[in-house]
Each structure stands twice: as C-alpha cells, then as structure tokens.
C-alpha cells in the first residue's frame, strides 16, 4: 500500500479540508507516513490569503524537486486555495508537481492520482455549482480524538477589497441544518467532546437555505432537514440566518461539552447570536470578532459594512449578554491609503476594545482583489513596520492585562497533550480558548480529558496553572 503525507497551510477551513483528504486517502487503502521525506504521495493543502503563504509553499514544494526526479513512483499533489486560483503559476514555478486540485474538487483526489500514473500535470479546478456544495457529503473522520472541525458553510458573499476568498472558495453555500447536527452527533459517538463550527461568515449561515425555502417547493418532510424545526415552526417564516438556531441545536447534542465557531463578520453579527451563546451552556465564552481597522475611512474602502463605533457597540453588547467573554480580533496594518490619522484611529479603538489577543497582519496585495490594484496608494514598508510595532504594544498590553486578571482563578482545561517546550508540562485550553500550561501533568496520558487548574501566573499569550482535581 502507498503512504501519504498531508501538509496544511492557512486557516481552520484548510485544516478541515486536510482531514477530508486524509479520510479519502485512507479509504483508498493508503497509510499515513511520518514525514514528507518518506511518503509516496505528498499533498500540500495551500493558502493564498497572503503573499508569504505562497512563498512558504513554493519554498517547501521545491525541496522535493530532486527526490521527485529520481523517484518516478512518487506523486506531489497541490490542493486548496492557491491551487484554485493560481494553477498555471504552480506548474510554471514547480513543474515537478503532478496533480493540482482546487477547493471544490477535493473529492476527486484519488481519481486524479490514478490518472497521474499515465498523464503529466493532472488538474481539476472545477468551479462551485451555484447554490450547491460539491463537498457537502464528504465528512472527515476525526483525527484528534477529542476535538473536531465541522464545516457548516463554504464560500463568502462579501466583497472585502483585500480578500481573495470569494474568488477561490466561491459564493456562500450552507450545509443543511440537520446534516450538521447529525455530523456532530456522530462525532460525539466517537468520543469527540469539543467541536468548532467553521464558515467564512458563520453569522449568515442558513440565509441561503431559508431563501431556497421561499423560492422552491420543498417537501414537508425535507424542510426540517434543510432549515431545522425551529425555522419550520415559525408562524411567518422569513429569509433569515439560522446560526443562533444551530448553536442551540449543536450545544444540545449528548456528549458535546464545548462548542466554538469561527469566523463571524461584525456587520452580520446579531443580538440573537449573543443570546444563544449565553443561553447554551456548551457554547464557549469565546468570540473572534475581526475589526481589521479602526478608521471609518479605511473600513469604507475595505467594504466592511460597519463603522468603528458600531463595531464597539456590538462588542459592548456581547460583553453585557455573555459573562466572562474573551474576545480576539484581526487587524490589518498598511492597507492602501492608510494615513497616520487612520492608524491613530485604529490604535485608539483597539485600546478601547481591550481585546484578549489580536492577530495583526501587514497588508498583502492579492492578484484579483480590488485593493491589489491600488498600487499608487501602497504604504512604504518602513512606515508599515513602525506602525506594526506600535500596534503590537497596544494589543499585548490589553492581552497581558486580561490574562493577569485570571491569576488566582480556577479554570477548566481541556488537555491537548504535552507542552511543545517541556514534556513534563501539559497544555490545554480553557472555555475562553486561553492556552494553559499545567505543571506536573502527563499530557499524553490525560490528552482529551478535562481538569481543573488554579492559575498562578500569566503572560501575554498563555497562563500557568497547577492541577487541582480531575473531572
């Protein structure tokens, strides 16, 4: 039997897609290899959200050039977002690649590998069918044991000027409501206790399904499967998102102790979602809320659909409704045309928001995006670097304050395994998604278990705890 190795770049959606690839290849009788150096088939599941992701991929795939030249049985597969959007560039820059498979064609990866035995440069970058998810029935088998990703929606209908996702993932397509719940129930039966619901804009999950209910004749027996019983029982069904309904339904699945989700879009975040988070005990007190910029002028140029003050009002509402909520965010530095005043507005709003942590990014122009064409507005690299450091000081100050406020508290920690730096320390996450290092706990032995730890020290990015008792 052939062996395979899957290397993943990018977001959680790619992680889930990689799990699907692993599931397909296992079902073909292939076995996982310990590394790409010894695998018969190496799959690179790529990201193209930023230029450095492209460069990292090409740097790593080109390391296999010599091995591919002397091993005619080896196959190199490139999948994911870069494959969907830049297939010609892949074969130009890495001609030793055998197969390119796009985001909508992962289900055909085994067939493409078979074709590569007699065909050079096999490719499938099929576009998504309107309103249909070709991967809807391709459910990944859990690989972590106690945690799993669950895709609830693919694609995006927004037009953020900096983002290439709609081009490589297509428009929004929601999976049927009951199909998601059934997958979570199946995962729970296999020992999974924490699930993370994935979508490019989870807030809008189900809006297309309710639109379909209004537009098409759906058999009465299929309506609940498509949109859930809560929507079907509405006295006046209207076109609306179903995400709050889904959170409650997933949180009610026996065996599930934690429900997370990513990523929402602030313009579509509704109070009903905050209420569902507060009222569903299994939904974690953790919210990723991407700001991107604090300048109203830049937010308008980005086509984000909200102003800074409106973002802050929604954030405050979330904190009022959900006790002990931890909030993280994304911020782009150096968006085309960003002035010093725009950046100062970002610093001011970020300081007001007091995020638990922030993922800060230097703007990366992407071919095919609107902002990528605004080269006359690009910001000098030295200016961006200086702003980046100033922003880092603000975000780390609030992160450290939030973490130090948790010292002395008892936290429930789901153990993920040993610490990467110290095998005598176990690492895990709280309900707020805080990383906790628990001294004196065997991370391998207690992987997947919930323990109580008293927090005795904190940094900007992690907490230190001592074990109190096992649940």
Cα–Cα distance measured from residue 151 to residue 149, given in angstroms and rounded to the nearest whole number: 7
Spatial distance between the Cα atoms of 263 and 431, rounded to a whole number of angstroms: 17
Q: Is 353 annotated as a binding residue?
A: no
Q: Would residue 278 be called left, alpha or beta, if left means φ above 0 and alpha means ψ between -120 and 50 degrees?
A: alpha
Cα–Cα separations (whole angstroms), residue 337 to 295, 372, 374, 375, 378: 11, 12, 9, 10, 6
Does 284 belong to an annotated binding site?
no
DSSP code string of 391-436: HHHHHHHHHHHHHHTTTT-EEEEEEEEE-SS-TTEEEEE-TT--EE
Please state, in angstroms and as integers, the Cα–Cα distance from residue 423 to each residue in 414, 442, 454, 460, 470, following that order: 17, 8, 20, 22, 19
Cα(263)–Cα(29) distance, integer angstroms: 34
**Is 160 annotated in some ligand binding site?**
yes
Q: Is 183 exposed, middle or buried (CB count within 10 Å of its CB: 0-12, 13-18, 19+)?
A: buried
DSSP string, 38-50: T-SEEEEEE--SS
Strand partners, 464: 437, 457
Element of type H or E holding 225? helix 220-227
Residue 139: HSE in the Cβ half-sphere, 13 Å Cα cutoff: 16
Binding site residues for [4Fe-4S] cluster, as ranges? 11, 47, 81, 156, 160, 163
């Amino acid at each position: 039997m052939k062996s395979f190795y899957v290397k993943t770049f990018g977001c959680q959606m790619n992680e889930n897609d990689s799990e699907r690839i692993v599931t397909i290849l296992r079902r073909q009788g292939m076995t996982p290899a310990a590394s790409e150096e010894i695998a018969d088939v190496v799959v690179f599941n790529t990201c193209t959200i930023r230029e450095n992701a492209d460069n990292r991929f090409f740097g790593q795939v080109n390391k296999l050039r010599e091995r591919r030249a002397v091993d005619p049985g080896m196959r190199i597969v490139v999948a994911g977002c870069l494959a969907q959007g830049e297939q010609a560039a892949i074969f130009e820059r890495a001609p030793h690649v055998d197969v390119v498979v796009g985001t909508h064609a992962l289900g055909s990866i085994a067939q493409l590998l078979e074709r590569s035995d007699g065909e050079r440069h096999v490719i499938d970058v099929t576009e998504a069918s309107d309103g249909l998810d070709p991967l809807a029935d391709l459910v990944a088998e859990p690989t972590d044991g106690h945690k799993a990703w669950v895709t609830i929606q693919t694609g995006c209908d927004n037009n953020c000027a900096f983002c290439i996702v709609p081009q490589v993932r297509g428009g929004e397509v929601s999976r049927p409501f009951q199909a998601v719940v059934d997958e979570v129930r199946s995962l729970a039966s296999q020992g999974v206790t924490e699930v993370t619901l994935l979508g490019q804009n989870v807030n809008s999950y189900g809006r297309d399904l309710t639109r379909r209910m209004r537009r098409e004749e759906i058999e009465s027996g299929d309506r609940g499967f498509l949109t859930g019983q809560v929507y079907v029982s509405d006295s006046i069904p209207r076109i609306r998102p179903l995400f709050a309904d889904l959170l409650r339904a997933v949180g009610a699945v026996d065996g599930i102790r934690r429900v997370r989700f990513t990523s929402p879009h602030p313009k579509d975040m509704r109070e009903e979602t905050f209420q569902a988070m507060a009222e569903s005990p299994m939904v974690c007190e953790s919210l990723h809320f991407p700001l991107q910029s604090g300048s109203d002028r830049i937010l308008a140029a980005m086509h984000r659909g909200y102003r800074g003050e409106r973002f802050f009002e929604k954030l405050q509402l979330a904190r009022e409704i959900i006790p002990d909520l931890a909030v993280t965010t994304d911020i782009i530095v150096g968006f085309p045309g960003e002035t010093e005043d725009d950046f100062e507005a970002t610093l001011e709003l970020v300081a007001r928001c007091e995020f638990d942590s922030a993922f800060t990014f230097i703007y990366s122009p992407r071919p095919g995006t609107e902002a990528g064409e605004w080269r006359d507005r690009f910001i000098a690299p030295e200016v961006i670097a200086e702003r980046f450091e100033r922003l880092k000081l603000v975000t780390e100050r609030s992160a450290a304050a939030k973490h130090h406020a948790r010292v002395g508290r008892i936290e429930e920690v789901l153990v993920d395994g040993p610490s990467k730096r110290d095998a005598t320390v176990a690492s895990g996450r709280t309900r707020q998604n805080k990383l906790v290092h628990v001294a004196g706990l065997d991370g391998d032995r207690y992987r997947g278990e919930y323990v109580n730890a008293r927090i005795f020290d904190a940094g900007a990015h992690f907490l230190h705890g001592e074990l109190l008792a096992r649940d």
